[in-house]
Amino acid sequence: MKICSWNVNGIRAVAKKGFLDWVKEESPDILCLQETKAHPEQLEKEILEIDGYTCYWNAAQRRGYSGVATYTKKVPLAVDYDLGVEEFDQEGRVIISSYENFTLLNVYFPNGQQNQDRLDYKLRFYARLMDVCDQMKVIQPNLIICGDFNTAHREIDLKNPKANEKRSGFLPIEREVLDQFLQRGYVDVFRYLYPEKVQYTWWSYRTMARERNVGWRIDYFYVSQEILPFIDDCNILEEITGSDHCPTLLKIADIQARLKQKCGKKNKYIIILYIILLYNTIRVQSYVNEISLILRGGFNDNETITGDQEYIS
């Protein structure tokens, strides 16, 4: 299974730059978009109804701002669009899709900007999302969180870390939040698989940054520990243009099929173990019956006692 995440910085803009052709060619099983900047009624039918996909939209109340969309080949068991907090839900930042073997969160995290109010808002959003994830893990341990996190975690995740230490997106307090994700048992899949690899997912439009590869890695796939064994790969598709971000791609095994495969190899050992346990259970029951008989005075002085009965006595 392929799950792709991409901040398109305006779905209408990227649609004019080969977006639909790319979807057809890449053919992800699930496509999560952030910063769509549109309401469904503003879009052409060909964007809303991509062949082979069911689409779910969560737009901000304010037009031309924020918004997320999830395209999926398989219809989810359930879809939710909020975190239960009005100040977050009105900005259209989350789509939660529940499938048989995992739950997927498509998230557009706030940008802290150079404004203390928005930075505080961003930190509250992070805290609320982590709490929601922890609550969901009780029901479905296999969680996948993808999207634009708007924070570079470590120095390796941006070109000029020293120059950006006081800039939102690389502030210590923001980076500490991503530390908390790790402490709560979530894994940054790309960094887990490629500890030393330098790749970015966002480049500023202002200074020809992409051409010079002066970028930031702020788009992630975080997963719970429980689903990590089923992850096959995580890639940054830096060659894909059309936005100031590039897509990230998660490759995940068919969980049910892999579990069946593993169980199949162990079946003969399980059967042998079952027979051993069954045999010993029968022997124990026999001992219990004999003990019961002894306690009821079932033996007389002239009765021969077997070895097992003598041991029990």
For the annotated catalytic residues, the residue numbers are 148
State phi, psi for 9 to the nearest 5 degrees.
50, 50
